[in-house]
Amino acid sequence: MPEQTAGSRPTLEAVAARAGVSRATASRVVNGGAGVRPPLVDKVRRAVEELGYVPNHAARTLVTRRNGAIAVIIAEPEFRVFSDPFFEQQVRGISRELIAYDAQLVLLWVEGPGDHGRIARYLGGGHVDGALAFSLHHDDELPSVIRRARVPAVFGGRPFLPGGDGEPRVPYVDADNRGGAREAVRRLVSLGRTRIAHIAGPRDQTSALDRIAGYHDVLLDADPELIRQGDFTAESGARAMAELLEHRPDVDAVFAGNDLMASGALRVLRESGRRVPQDVALVGFDDMRTVVEAVDPPLTTVRQDIEGMGRLMVRLLMRVLDDHGANGSRTGSPASVITPTTLVVRASA
């Protein structure tokens, strides 16, 4: 337990006072935030962090947990973990939320399939109370590794395989990738563009497939030559853009599957002498601050609340752990959550 006496613990009343809300509102936020307006949720969460408040809820459930630690597993090698700002934002949300539950975050990643045996041993060793896993790929063994270790889990992004018959489904948190992609492409159509290309993310991830589907929802008879493959890195966006310019020099708009690929595409467009947005309009996906405002022109993109999705993953996991603790066995998992996306218009389209 923390090195402070029970008496020195900040109370829910103190949180409510600091946030300037009623005790009932503070309580609702601490227990999930349902029915509370987002600005108030933010105020209460800030007060929780500043005071170091540990909810009774968390204190109660921690008693039923053995380790007070949660594993965050990113199914990517170390260089991607540290270079893609997506992971940083997701982990930031998770980290902040876990602090409110006084749970220790331990971060793991996967250099390759050779790591699965070791991760299985670690998870099976009973060192963590739960796991949050994201960036799962189609052929990824990680979901079954986690299932076999019988560690309660929540996934970030919809996994490919929902689990076998009779196995409980693992809840996940995802963004409305398909709806967001539709908005991006509709924006380009509304600008009068007629040769709208798509630089797709890796087809072994559902987020990339959903964005491709959204593109096709709007452009039912899109020319396959206008669709090029990337892997969510800036370099792959540059490569795909170079291919597009070679095969379809008449391209007048690009929807890139994420902001990093859009930044690579933008570089190639400028090197080719094309003006953005006058000659080629460009839309990304993610609204990654460090990318969209660093490029010239600033990037029109589809915003997903990555940090908020990280927080939601933690809250879902805590619900799963509560169910375990209360009944000694699973009572079925909470429902998965799909969060909305928003088109953010800047100068590139």
* Positions in the binding site for its own copies (CB under 8 A): 1-4, 52, 67-69, 71, 78-79, 82-83, 85, 87-88, 91-92, 95, 99, 102-108, 111, 114-115, 117-122, 125, 127-128
CB of 312 to its own copies, least distance (A): 18
Nearest residue (CB) to its own copies, 151 versus 200? 151
CB of 81 to its own copies, least distance (A): 8
Nearest residue (CB) to its own copies, 83 versus 331? 83
CB of 256 to its own copies, least distance (A): 22
3-state class percentages of the chain: helix first, strand second, coil last, to nearest 5: 50, 15, 35
Residue 254 tokens, joined: 């690009």
CB of 321 to its own copies, least distance (A): 17
332 to each of 152, 168, 246, 317, 319, how far by Cα in Å? 11, 7, 53, 13, 11
Contact 349, 277 (CB under 8 A): yes
349 to each of 61, 69, 294, how far by Cα in Å? 49, 44, 16
Closest CA relative to residue 199, chosen from 229, 243, 224: 229
Nearest residue (CB) to its own copies, 41 versus 91? 91
Nearest residue (CB) to its own copies, 289 versus 330? 289
Nearest residue (CB) to its own copies, 181 versus 260? 260
Closest CA relative to residue 13, chosen from 29, 31, 26, 32: 26
CB of 195 to its own copies, least distance (A): 34
Nearest residue (CB) to its own copies, 14 versus 99? 99
CB of 33 to its own copies, least distance (A): 22
Report residue 255 CA to chain centroid gap: 20
End-to-end CA distance of the chain: 53
Burial (CB count <10 Å: 0-12, 13-18, 19+), residue 87: buried
Contact 218, 247 (CB under 8 A): no
Nearest residue (CB) to its own copies, 35 versus 112? 112
CB of 120 to its own copies, least distance (A): 8
Q: Which amino acid is at 289?
A: R
Nearest residue (CB) to its own copies, 62 versus 219? 62
Say how far apart CA 16 and CA 24 lie, in whole Å: 8
Say how far apart CA 285 and CA 289 lie, in whole Å: 11
CB of 28 to its own copies, least distance (A): 24
